[in-house]
């Protein structure tokens, strides 16, 4: 485990979130990346802040950050490295629905052992690590309020499922048919993992493209709260995936985030 605690990483996320909200309040421009996904000034500005702060806190730990990778800058990764998505949910940012987050995670030997997810427009921050558990707090005027411990709930007979607001799929609907679903909640960004971690939802299946920086922080928080993220064959989602013939570096397979592990089915 890193000697940099999640509470200190929280301050990095808060600083990035402050800059994001300044741009959110402005008449910002939207551009398209090579994969047609949107990107704004806020993505780049937040990433600069995070990279500068992590360099001060953990100068020897590599950082894999979304915008840097998009620009062709991909550091060599060791057993320990950070995964950063400076603005997860850019579509939510552009549509101004508030459901975007700052994601910072620490990976050790392929496992997300610490994560911070900050939703600046909603005034919510979530964090967790393998040693201390998972927590959430409100944020007002840049200050974190009293923390509340998070724990996944025991799933009821009719579950609450949560899924992507911007990337739904027929495959996801078909996969969920194996359960009795009382309610399906649409949400943006890594908040979906956090809602499962706090017991507001039971399961989050994702049958679509994601990258490791999209999932690592939320995954760490969910694991710290007692849940798990697995591939469709039931294996824990791994990080630091590189040099594969069948996929680009850091791309995830389809996965399912479980609160109650009793929901896992063969």
pLDDT digits (tens, 9 = 90+) for 8-17: 999 999 999 9
Residue ranges of domains in the chain: 6-150, 159-263
For residue 165, pLDDT over 80 is answered with no
Is the CB of residue 119 less than 8 Å from the CB of residue 98? yes
According to the CATH classification, is domain 159-263 in 1.10.150.530? no
Q: Is 243 annotated as a binding residue?
A: no
Instruction: Assess whether the region 6-150 and the region 159-263 belong to the same CATH fold.
Output: no
What CATH topology corresponds to 6-150? Answer: Fructose-1,6-Bisphosphatase; Chain A, domain 1 (3.30.540)
Bridge partners of 177, per DSSP, are: none
Is the CB of residue 112 less than 8 Å from the CB of residue 103? no
Q: Is 90 annotated as a binding residue?
A: yes
Residue length of the chain: 266
Q: Is 108 annotated as a binding residue?
A: no
pTM: 0.95
Q: Is 17 annotated as a binding residue?
A: no
Bridge partners of 255, per DSSP, are: 206, 231
Q: Is 35 annotated as a binding residue?
A: no
pLDDT digits (tens, 9 = 90+) for 115-145: 999 999 999 999 999 899 999 999 999 999 9
Q: Is 249 annotated as a binding residue?
A: no
Is the CB of residue 214 less than 8 Å from the CB of residue 85? yes
Q: Is 266 annotated as a binding residue?
A: no
């Amino acid at each position: 485990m890193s000697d940099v605690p999640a509470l200190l990483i929280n301050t990095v996320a808060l600083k990035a979130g402050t800059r994001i909200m300044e741009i959110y309040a402005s008449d910002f421009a939207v551009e398209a990346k090579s994969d047609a996904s949107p990107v704004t000034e806020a993505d780049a500005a937040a990433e600069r802040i995070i990279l500068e702060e992590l360099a001060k806190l953990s100068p020897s730990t590599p950082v894999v950050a979304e915008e840097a990778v998009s620009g062709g800058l991909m550091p060599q990764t060791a057993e320990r490295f950070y995964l950063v998505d400076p603005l997860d949910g850019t579509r939510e940012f552009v549509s101004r629905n508030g459901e975007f987050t700052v994601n910072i995670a620490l990976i050790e030997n392929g496992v997300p052992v610490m994560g911070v997810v900050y939703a600046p427009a909603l005034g919510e921050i979530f964090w967790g690590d393998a040693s201390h558990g998972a927590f959430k707090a409100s944020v007002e005027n840049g200050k974190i309020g009293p923390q509340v411990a998070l724990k996944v709930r025991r799933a009821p007979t009719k579950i609450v499922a949560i899924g992507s607001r911007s990337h739904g799929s027929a495959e996801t609907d078909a996969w969920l048919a194996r359960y009795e679903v009382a309610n399906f909640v649409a949400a943006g960004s890594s908040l979906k993992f956090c809602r499962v971690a706090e017991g507001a939802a039971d399961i989050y299946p994702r049958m679509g493209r994601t990258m490791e920086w999209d999932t690592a922080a939320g995954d760490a928080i969910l694991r710290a709260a007692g849940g798990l993220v697995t591939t469709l064959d039931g294996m824990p989602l791994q990080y630091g995936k590189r040099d594969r013939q069948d996929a680009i570096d850091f791309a995830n397979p389809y996965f399912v985030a479980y609160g109650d592990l009793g929901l896992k089915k063969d």
